Amino acid sequence: MIRLFKVKEKQKEDAENNTGGTPVKKQCAGELRLHKDITELNLPEACKISFPNGQDDLMNFEVSIKPDEGYYQNGTFVFSFEVPPIYPHDAPKVKCKTKVDIFFLNFIHMLLLFNHAIKLELYTFESNLQVYHPNIDLEGNVCLNVLREDWKPVLNINTIIYGLYHLFTVMLDHSIFFAFSF
């Protein structure tokens, strides 16, 4: 048993010598799968991905979506992704970083109820744009089926980003809002 530890220590020393003195960080299975997913991303032009903590931290990144059609055209919506180490067995945690304004929420809700043909013109300013979306709560939690009950390990980051994109470009029939308004 002691001999095994000595062999492992020797291998570690050899690895440090070959890499210039810094030990090589092992990647977990989730990081390897995420690396594959990110290299295979096929995003719409309206979606951009960024790594605020640098390219070394793949497990935390942001996606900004700027819809080119629909009610939310010209708005910019930023989502933070926190990927668990056991990805893809657990879905990433996705939060909307764009703030929600309760007064704007009521205004948009009334517009959708009474005149679903109105197209909103949203513009981003230097401060946080405050928006309403029926699938995003006041804390930024996103209601998207593939993030919860319909998540399966065969799904990937591309699927989630397309789901978020469609939340802002494909609007449901306005009659569904009557069911939630009372």
79 burial (CB, 10 Å; 0-12 / 13-18 / 19+) is: buried
Strand ranges, E, within 11-76: 47-50, 60-65
The CA R_g of the chain, rounded to the nearest whole Å, is: 22
- 143 counts as catalytic: yes
For 47, residues 6+ apart whose C-beta sits below 8 A from its C-beta are 63, 64, 65, 66, 161, 165
Which residue in 28, 47, 96, 143 is the catalytic one?
Answer: 143
> What's the CA gap between 12 and 6, in Å, rounded?
10
- Write out the catalytic residue numbers: 143
